[in-house]
Structure 1
Amino acid sequence: MCGIWASLGLSPDKRAIDLVAHRGPDGDGWEEIATQAGPLALGHRRLAIIAPDASGLQPMTYDDRYVIVFNGEIYNYRELRDELTALGRSIRTKTDTEVLLAAYAQWGEACLSRCNGMFAFVLFDKQAQRLFIARDRFGVKPLYYWASPKGIAFASEIKQFTAVEGFQARRDERGAWDFLVSGVFDHRRETMFSGVQQLRGGEYLSIDLAAWRPGGVPAPRRWYELPRPDSLALPMEEASARFLDLMRDSVRLRLRADVPVGTCLSGGLDSSTIVCLMSELIADDPNAQQHSFTCAFDTPGLDEWTYAKAVNEQCGTTSHIVSPSAEDLWAAIDAMIWHQDEPFGSTSIFAQWSVFAEAHKAGVTVMLDGQGADEQLAGYHPMFGAALAGHLKKLRLQRFVNEIKAIRRRHGTSMERLTGLVLASLLPRGWFTPILRLTGRSPAPAWLNTGFTAANEGDLLGSLRVPRTADASPLGALCAHQLTTTSVPMLLHFEDRNSMAHAIEARVPFLDYRLAELTIGLGEAHKLVDGETKAILRRAMEPILPSKVTNRQDKLGFPTPEEVWFKGPLRERILAAADETVEAYPTIFNADQVRRYARDMLDGRVPFSFALWRIICFGRWGQRFGVAA
């Protein structure tokens, strides 16, 4: 886990890698190479996880031909090393970086499909005069690029481009609209910064320096695709057994490290699964010590400690608990925004931030976390609509009725809410706006200026619409879309920045591609059964998890008492921050409406929502990065 930088044609400036020193406190490297297309600068900051001695320093050269800066981990590097040495490749170090270099030398771009891991890297082939830039299947590790008339640059974090002559922080209008209206970002190649783009998960760039010209950006190419949803049919017993085998092996691979490994533990199904499987896997190691980290609040409806405690007691885990306050949140806001690079939709990520801070304090360098499970397994309650729509489309009317009854019985979901969710999954795109209103989401808030709204609302949240195909169930398509486009990329952004801010490597076992191919291939099957979410995970883990965790029906996951804090100790600061935002960005916000909305929400005259935080965070982000009005 590290920070990387590469620039071609631009004046080399080591500040670009120093800006992410937090990503790699264990070493740094910088190399400048003369090429036929101009100077190539490669920078690296190292967080030493595997082979922590000097043999792992980067940029790393292989066979006097290939040089790389690499961020991430190749979990199956031992198996790849054995295969490559059998083919005659010389590998001197114990690092996964050299294995990746040897794999590229042996197989070229096809090496990507052989890697089970999370990675973002820039590799230069001196002989072929070619740059090869790639990102892992689901985009666990970040990789951004920015081009100017003088050259092109690649980075782990957007802030690194501020070190380049000619870069200006300007907002992307479409990105600002999608964030302010819906709270999402990272769902497009474009970012919140105009001109800054990212490789999507499963993409690569190949740049022939002989043909490339400054200012040019070649089109990214896909190297990985998920299987078609509903392409795999398995009975529950076989599917859950296969799920457990793959999940166990995923955790096993992600325990490979030469530093202490711990786990995030919210008390939910996903994180509890990881803790319990890790406990099994290290049971025979007398020197192993398992640490879990939990964020707990005494606010009714938000405290999951009783569930986390049951898991810790069963596994004999050394538990660490953090309970940050409203004051802690306010003190951390600017640092969080700087590390995140882009504004975020609620304060819930502060709980995760606090957990990683505690892990760093405890000396744990690698943390396993549960991202990706809800999206693959239909763990979010709004996904009820897609599941029910699938039954209607296939005329499974009795099951449709039975599922509605079960959902209402287990979760108390209203018929109005269910009706809106089902219609949103079934009706054509032209009906999208009124259906959003039925489901409680206003597409054009009154607190946005009419000019800003008119310029952006025409293709309302277009990239968020789930692709509809005749051969995929609504739920199967939705799971795949959330995994690759909407929910997971955004959560991985939070995970990466929160962990790296505290020099922690976060690993996500549910995003092992073998597991994702099983769950997506199953489509709608074994996900929502008799009103119970994530049915296949519950069945697989039933003998392993504490029963009170297996039988949980609510969904939280490191939340914060945002409403309590905003209406109480932070009230005046929230109102002041809203004022600052509207004054800084008058072309976006209707000042009177924002102020009225903020007071009405804090006084309880309108329902509490995360929209107020989005307004505030957008303003603080703009100030922090000097984004022009």
Structure 2
Amino acid sequence: MCGLYASIGFEPDEQRIDIIQHRGPDGRGWEVYASGSGPVALGHRRLAIIDVSDAGLQPMSDRSCRYHLIFNGEIYNYLELRNELMLKGETFYTDSDSEVLLRSFMVWGMECLHKLRGMFAFLIWDEREKTLFAARDRFGIKPLYVFEGVGGFAFASEIKQLIGLKGWSGRMNVARVHDFLSAGVSDHTAETMFEGVRQLRGGEQVIVRADGSVPRAEIRRWYPATAGHLDLTERDAAARFRDLLDASVRLHLRSDVSIGSCLSGGLDSSAIVCLMARDLPADAALNTVSACYPNKEVDEKPFMDAVVGRTGANPHFVYPRADDVFDRAAEITWHQDEPFGSSSIFAQWCVFEAARKAGIKVMLDGQGADEQLAGYHGAFGYHLVALRQQRKIGQIARTIIERRRYHGAPMSPPVREHVLPLLPAGLAGWIGTKLPPPAPQPPYYDWLSGPLIRAAGNPNGPLALATASLDLPPIVDVRTLCLTLTYASNLQMLLHWEDRNSMAHSIEARVPFLDHPLVEFNLALGNCHKVVGGDTKRVLRRAMNRILPSTIRHRRDKLGFSTPEEAWFRGPLRERVVAGIEASLTLYPDLFDPAATRAFASDMLEGRRPVDFTLWRIVNLGIWGETFGVTV
């Protein structure tokens, strides 16, 4: 896990690699080459994980000095690839996965990407052909930003490295800011919230030709965003899932430094920790790090304690404080590069901060399972629509009843929408009269309706844009929802936040649920293996039988790195929330309707409507604008 920078045609500037020293405190490399399109700079900051000797420093060159590599990430199957290459006559001079990646490219060219199991963003300069090749892993675990300025291209691990390049505007991308404010979605397209800065998306590669006066770039997908179809029994699906996840965890434990895990107490992180306990050597310590709160509504410590008791892990607990949400907000925003969606990102920050203090350098985490396996409660709506279309009234009734039992969800709205249309008119009418009337809706405020939004916002919504941008099918059921969440929207946003929070503390975050054989299997599974009655992630629950504590395997609530945001915002942080909203209104008045925004916020803070993440998004937009000097 490292940080990188490359440019063609721009004046080489080593500060652009030093600004991300946090990504790589263990080594530094900088080289400049000549091309017909101007100077070519390659810079690297190293976080040493595999072969921690200086032999792994980058840029890394082959013996002929034709190819030069800078690489951020891990190739988990590097030992297998190394053996395969040695059988082809290749000789290795280090024990690093970086050299395996370099030689894989030399032997197999761009086709080597399909052999890699891991997370990666890397660039290779071909000195003979005067081309720069770059690629990003299948799901976008590791970042890679691209900026095309006046006379040149630049690539970076973080957006802040690109500030001030010739052609940099420092302006807001209003359409993407609109998506963030209205729906809390980011990283769902190639664009960022900075005008003119794009990212190479997961599964994309680019070749920049620098053999002429103006560099030319060609971007294409190397990994298609698709899903197959599997027809398996519950038993067979669970067994295959367990084998794939266990194999992934074993690969993700390859490390020459200390290793631990984030533990929230939910299904996903608990499954990772329980499998780690089975796969780690007997003399290896299993460290977990967790965020806890006195507020019982969001505190998951009893579940964490159950996992610790089952595995014998060495637990580390951190207790995020309300005041630190704002005291650390500018620092976290600087590391994140873009505004982030809720105070839960602050809780995750605290977990990685505690991990660093505990001396842990690699952390496994459970990101990715919810997107592949329909772990979010929003999936129930799509599930019910599909059942209604199939006229499966028994399964609809079971889902509605179990959602009420497990989650306290109201029954009347889904009965009206999904049951009554399937009944004879007379019976439907009679049942309709027995249902309680719909709950009154809170007042609607058109708060996000300033002239800039009307002129340059996204009128179609972020999910529709995300789906269309990768030519994915429209979201009509659980399967298509999982496809979009995994490849095009939610997952990329969560990976962005995790990468920045972990790297801010010089920690490598690994995500075993995103081993591509496991992802491909999960996306090919039918809906019946994901949502069943009131359960989400059915195949995971069944696969972890006798591995997870039963109290966790049967959990139905959904928290993650939650904070007591409602209590904090209505209590000790209220004045700072109001001041933050006013600061954003002052900084960007043309985005908002100020009166409607204030009324909307007041309803939440006064208890007339539930507090949601919108308040923090408005506040954090202003913090981002101030931190980076973003204009409109």
Interval containing the TM-score (normalised by the shorter chain): over 0.9
Is this contact kept in 1: 2:502–2:508, CA < 8 A? Answer: yes
Deviations 1:326-352 (A, max 9, x none): 112221100000000000111111111
Inter-partner Cα distance in structure 1 for 2:603 and 2:403? 33
Q: Normalized against structure 1, the TM-score is what?
A: 0.93
Segment of structure 1 superposing worse, 177-186 or 414-423:
414-423
Letter in 2 for 1:103: S
Quick one: which of 509, 513, 534 aligns to 2:516?
Answer: 513
Deviations 1:371-426 (A, max 9, x none): 00011111111100112222233343432333333333322222465479979xxx
Letter in 2 for 1:24: G
1:90-169 alignment runs, 5 A limit: 90-169=91-170
Q: Which runs of 5+ in 1 are unaligned?
A: 424-436
Aligned equivalent of 1:265 = 263
Segment of structure 1 superposing worse, 532-541 or 470-479:
470-479
Aligned equivalent of 2:349 = 353
Aligned equivalent of 2:435 = none
Is this contact kept in 2: 1:382–1:421, CA < 8 A? Answer: no
Aligned in 2, Cα 1:254/1:440: closer, same or farther, shift over 3 Å?
farther
Aligned equivalent of 1:529 = 532
Aligned equivalent of 1:49 = 49
Aligned equivalent of 2:13 = 13
Is this contact kept in 2: 1:124–1:132, CA < 8 A? Answer: yes
Determine if the alignment matches structure 1 residue 591 to structure 2 residue 590.
no
Aligned in 2, Cα 1:389/1:112: closer, same or farther, shift over 3 Å?
same
Q: Which runs of 5+ in 2 are unaligned?
A: 420-437
Aligned equivalent of 1:432 = none
Deviations 1:64-87 (A, max 9, x none): 211011000000000000000110
Once the 2 structures are TM-superposed, how far is the Cα of residue 566 of structure 1 from its aligned partner?
1.2
Is this contact kept in 1: 2:445–2:596, CA < 8 A? Answer: no
Aligned equivalent of 1:228 = 227
Equivalences, count: 611
Is this contact kept in 2: 1:181–1:445, CA < 8 A? Answer: no
Specify the SS of the correspondent of 1:600: helix
Letter in 2 for 1:275: V
Aligned in 2, Cα 1:388/1:144: closer, same or farther, shift over 3 Å?
same
Letter in 2 for 1:104: F
Inter-partner Cα distance in structure 2 for 1:439 and 1:17? 55
Deviations 1:431-479 (A, max 9, x none): xxxxxx9998999832542552354253233645757988996111100
Aligned in 2, Cα 1:66/1:465: closer, same or farther, shift over 3 Å?
closer
Inter-partner Cα distance in structure 2 for 1:614 and 1:396? 40
Letter in 2 for 1:90: T
Is this contact kept in 1: 2:8–2:210, CA < 8 A? Answer: no
Specify the SS of the correspondent of 2:608: coil
Specify the SS of the correspondent of 2:478: helix
Aligned equivalent of 1:341 = 337
Quick one: which of 310, 320, 331 aligns to 1:324?
Answer: 320
Quick one: which of 279, 282, 289 aligns to 1:281?
Answer: 279
Letter in 2 for 1:266: S
Specify the SS of the correspondent of 2:185: coil
Is this contact kept in 1: 2:446–2:593, CA < 8 A? Answer: no
Segment of structure 1 superposing worse, 384-393 or 443-452:
443-452
Aligned in 2, Cα 1:613/1:399: closer, same or farther, shift over 3 Å?
same
Once the 2 structures are TM-superposed, how far is the Cα of residue 142 of structure 1 from its aligned partner?
0.2
Inter-partner Cα distance in structure 2 for 1:388 and 1:120? 39
1:407-426 alignment runs, 5 A limit: 407-415=403-411, 418=414
Letter in 2 for 1:481: T
Is this contact kept in 2: 1:420–1:438, CA < 8 A? Answer: no
Inter-partner Cα distance in structure 2 for 1:107 and 1:368? 30
Letter in 1 for 2:250: R
Letter in 2 for 1:459: N
Quick one: which of 306, 310, 314 aligns to 1:310?
Answer: 306
Once the 2 structures are TM-superposed, how far is the Cα of residue 610 of structure 1 from its aligned partner?
1.4
Is this contact kept in 1: 2:472–2:484, CA < 8 A? Answer: no
Inter-partner Cα distance in structure 2 for 1:367 and 1:314? 19
Aligned equivalent of 1:185 = 186
Inter-partner Cα distance in structure 2 for 1:519 and 1:442? 40
1:181-580 alignment runs, 5 A limit: 181-210=182-211, 213-214=214-215, 218-228=217-227, 231-282=229-280, 285-415=281-411, 418=414, 445-449=446-450, 452-453=453-454, 455-456=456-457, 458-461=459-462, 463-464=464-465, 474-580=477-583
Deviations 1:55-107 (A, max 9, x none): 01000001321101100000000000000011011211000000000000010
Aligned equivalent of 2:424 = none
Once the 2 structures are TM-superposed, how far is the Cα of residue 206 of structure 1 from its aligned partner?
1.3
Letter in 2 for 1:516: V
Aligned equivalent of 2:22 = 22
Is this contact kept in 1: 2:367–2:494, CA < 8 A? Answer: yes
Letter in 2 for 1:340: Q
Once the 2 structures are TM-superposed, how far is the Cα of residue 531 of structure 1 from its aligned partner?
1.7
Is this contact kept in 2: 1:9–1:152, CA < 8 A? Answer: yes
Inter-partner Cα distance in structure 2 for 1:397 and 1:27? 62
Once the 2 structures are TM-superposed, how far is the Cα of residue 38 of structure 1 from its aligned partner?
1.2
Letter in 2 for 1:247: L
Deviations 1:515-573 (A, max 9, x none): 00001011413111132111100100011111101111111111011111111111111
Is this contact kept in 1: 2:227–2:520, CA < 8 A? Answer: no
Q: Normalized against structure 2, the TM-score is what?
A: 0.92
Letter in 1 for 2:274: C
Specify the SS of the correspondent of 1:204: strand
Specify the SS of the correspondent of 1:587: helix
Inter-partner Cα distance in structure 1 for 2:338 and 2:255? 31
Is this contact kept in 2: 1:385–1:422, CA < 8 A? Answer: no
Aligned in 2, Cα 1:315/1:347: closer, same or farther, shift over 3 Å?
same
Aligned equivalent of 2:609 = 606
Segment of structure 1 superposing worse, 597-606 or 575-584:
597-606
Letter in 2 for 1:5: Y
Letter in 1 for 2:224: E
Segment of structure 1 superposing worse, 467-476 or 481-490:
467-476
Deviations 1:133-189 (A, max 9, x none): 000000000000001122010000000001524423110011011011111110010
Aligned in 2, Cα 1:420/1:577: closer, same or farther, shift over 3 Å?
farther
Aligned in 2, Cα 1:504/1:125: closer, same or farther, shift over 3 Å?
same
Inter-partner Cα distance in structure 1 for 2:313 and 2:441? 41
Once the 2 structures are TM-superposed, how far is the Cα of residue 367 of structure 1 from its aligned partner?
0.1
Once the 2 structures are TM-superposed, how far is the Cα of residue 603 of structure 1 from its aligned partner?
1.8
Deviations 1:172-214 (A, max 9, x none): 0110110111111100100000000001100000123236724
Is this contact kept in 2: 1:16–1:164, CA < 8 A? Answer: no
